């Protein structure tokens, strides 16, 4: 959802050449000068090396620059477009936020070229604004206050989805630390996560400790689900951010959907597989069906009865090729 183009090129080569996950990307998101996430990156990692990377980020300021940004991403062969619409309310700060004219230009240009658009937003006011600009989905859910009827209506009007990243939001408010530690130290996956990654997952971002509650996100997801809004599972795992870990946080997210938001295990699993493929027009994956990619996991136990069984991993196939398995499993 946001990475420098040279990193994306490196990752694509890894995907082509080895045993690693597939990659779908927006490359660098539609950023502005000292907006999100530049503001928070500099607040925590203000070094010459970081500033050198930030110098490569887009610094959009006009609708024309927004349209040009989309055209440049097409050259990078991106899969969708990511916008940032963050006022800083959950930080208790005020940061630069893109104009609505800029955001509309980006969305319109992306749609003109057949690209879906998703946006970062964490508070009610920002979310309502960016939905009004026409985005197809939100990456994150509101944590600054409880959901309102206007929020639900805006999602419905737009036909937008919500990817609430509940584990990341709980890390931001620090309310998720106990659950983060539980997953980080689960004996079933100790061999799959390094000590550095385990330590990062056990820490909290804490950005919204004073100005957010994860229950606001839970309740928003409950109400959006009841209204028929598509809800997707995503982790927002990133380094050097803390509170999440690649892969593992998706299992935590599945559990949070079931325990906190009223999803059945089957609904949660669909939110992590078929539904994201459908929303992003990835027609070659997301279901077990003839003609689609055979990206599969084998687990022991029945996750339709207990979602916790998704961590009882026994084997993984990528495009029909066995990548890894416990000895004696297959």
Do the beta carbons of residue 60 and residue 104 sit within 8 Å? no
CA dihedral angle for residue 273, residue 274, residue 275, residue 277, rounded to 10 degrees = 90
Q: What does the pLDDT look like over 279-322, one tens digit per residue?
A: 999 999 999 999 999 999 999 999 999 999 999 999 999 889 89
Maximum distance among all alpha carbons in the chain?
A: 60
User: Is residue 301 included in any domain, yes or no?
Assistant: no
Quote the tokens at residue 256.
């949070």
Taking CA 101 as the corner, what is the angle to CA 99 and CA 105, rounded to the nearest 5 degrees?
A: 120
Pairwise CA distance, residues 159 & 135, whole Å: 9
Weakest-pLDDT range from 82-86, 256-260, 305-309, 321-325: 321-325
| pLDDT in the model for residue 6 | 92
Taking CA 59 as the corner, what is the angle to CA 55 and CA 64, rounded to the nearest 5 degrees?
A: 145
Do the beta carbons of residue 58 and residue 31 sit within 8 Å? yes
Pairwise CA distance, residues 30 & 65, whole Å: 10
pTM: 0.95
User: Is residue 329 included in any domain, yes or no?
Assistant: no
Average pLDDT over residues 219-226: 98
What is the pLDDT confidence band of residue 328, given thresholds at 50, 70 and 90? low
**pLDDT(330) > 60:** no
Those residues with Cβ within 8 angstroms of residue 107's Cβ, 6 or more apart along the chain or in another chain:
81, 83, 117, 133, 134, 135
User: Is residue 296 included in any domain, yes or no?
Assistant: no
Domains: count for the chain: 1
- Name the residue range of residue 270's domain: 5-291
User: Is residue 82 included in any domain, yes or no?
Assistant: yes
Average pLDDT over residues 224-253: 94
Quote the tokens at residue 117.
């658009």
Quote the tokens at residue 35.
């907006």
**pLDDT(117) > 70:** yes
**Start-to-end C-alpha separation, the chain:** 35
User: Is residue 306 included in any domain, yes or no?
Assistant: no
- C-alpha distances (whole Å) from 328 to each of 224, 283, 285, 286, 318 are 44, 34, 28, 28, 19
Task: Return mean pLDDT, the chain.
Answer: 94
Q: What does the pLDDT look like over 150-207, one tens digit per residue?
A: 999 999 999 999 999 999 999 999 999 999 999 999 999 988 999 999 999 999 998 8
The CATH number linked to 198 is 3.20.20.140
Strands 81-84 and 321-325: unpaired
| pLDDT in the model for residue 18 | 75
| pLDDT in the model for residue 40 | 83
User: Is residue 322 included in any domain, yes or no?
Assistant: no
Pairwise CA distance, residues 291 & 293, whole Å: 7
DSSP 107: H
Q: What does the pLDDT look like over 13-49, one tens digit per residue?
A: 999 887 788 999 999 999 999 999 998 888 778 899 8
| pLDDT in the model for residue 90 | 83
Do the beta carbons of residue 107 and residue 83 sit within 8 Å? yes
Q: Does the N-terminal peptide bond of residue 291 adopt cis geometry, omega within 30 degrees of 0?
A: no
Using a pLDDT cut of 90, give the percent of the chain over it: 85
Quote the tokens at residue 304.
């339709």
User: Is residue 298 included in any domain, yes or no?
Assistant: no
Helix (H) or strand (E) holding 309: none
Weakest-pLDDT range from 10-14, 50-54, 89-93, 134-138: 89-93
Average pLDDT over residues 66-85: 97
| pLDDT in the model for residue 43 | 78
Do the beta carbons of residue 9 and residue 28 sit within 8 Å? no
Of 318, 309, 300, residue with least CA distance to 258: 309
User: Is residue 297 included in any domain, yes or no?
Assistant: no
Pairwise CA distance, residues 35 & 99, whole Å: 11
Pairwise CA distance, residues 64 & 102, whole Å: 8
Q: Which residue has the higher pLDDT, 280 or 329?
A: 280
Q: Beta partners for 299?
A: 313
């Amino acid at each position: 959802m946001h990475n420098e183009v040279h990193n994306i090129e490196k990752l694509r080569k890894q995907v082509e050449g080895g045993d690693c996950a597939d990659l779908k990307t927006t490359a660098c998101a539609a950023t502005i000068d000292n907006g999100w996430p530049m503001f928070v990156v500099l607040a925590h990692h203000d070094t010459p090396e970081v500033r050198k990377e930030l110098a490569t980020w887009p610094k959009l300021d006009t609708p024309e620059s927004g349209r040009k940004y989309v055209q440049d991403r097409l050259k990078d062969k991106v899969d969708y477009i990511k916008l940032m619409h963050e006022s800083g309310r959950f930080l208790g700060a005020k940061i630069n936020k893109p104009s609505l004219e800029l955001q509309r230009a980006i969305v319109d240009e992306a749609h003109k070229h057949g690209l879906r658009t998703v946006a970062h937003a964490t508070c009610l006011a920002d979310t309502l604004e960016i939905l009004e600009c026409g985005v197809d989905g939100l990456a994150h859910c509101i944590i600054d206050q409880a959901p309102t009827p206007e929020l639900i209506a805006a999602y419905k009007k737009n036909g937008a989805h919500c990817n609430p990243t509940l584990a990341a939001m709980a890390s931001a408010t620090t309310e998720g630390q106990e659950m983060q530690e539980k997953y980080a130290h689960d004996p079933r996956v100790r061999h799959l996560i390094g000590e550095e990654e385990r330590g990062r997952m056990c820490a909290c971002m804490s950005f919204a400790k004073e100005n957010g509650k994860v229950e606001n996100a839970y309740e928003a997801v409950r109400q959006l689900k009841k209204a028929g809004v598509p809800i997707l599972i995503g982790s927002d795992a990133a380094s050097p951010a803390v509170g999440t870990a690649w892969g593992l946080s998706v299992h935590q997210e599945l559990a949070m959907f079931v325990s906190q938001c009223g999803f059945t295990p089957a609904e949660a699993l669909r939110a992590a597989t078929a539904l994201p493929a459908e929303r992003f027009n990835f027609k070659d994956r997301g279901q077990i069906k003839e003609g689609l990619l055979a990206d599969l996991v084998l687990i022991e136990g029945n996750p339709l009865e207990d979602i916790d069984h998704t961590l009882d991993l026994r084997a993984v196939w990528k495009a029909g090729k066995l990548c890894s398995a416990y000895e004696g499993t297959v």
